Amino acid sequence: MYIKISNLTKSFKMFKRTAGLRGALKSFFNRQYTNFFALKQINLEL
């Protein structure tokens, strides 16, 4: 049996949180996102 995985990438979209009630309300209506990469271009052969 032969398994080949090439250029596997997994990312999550996370939003920035601001401290306090005012910051929470502001970030609820105007969210700023950052990308978090759990895997970045993984190559595997079995």
Tokens found for residue 8: 């596997």
The residue segments making up the domain with residue 10 are: 4-45
Burial 29-46 (b: 16+ CB within 10 A, else e): eeeeeeeeeeeeeeeeee
pLDDT of residue 28: 74
pLDDT score of 45 = 92
Return the bridge partners of 40, or none: none
* Count: domains in the chain: 1
pTM value > 0.75: no
Q: Average per-residue pLDDT in the chain?
A: 87
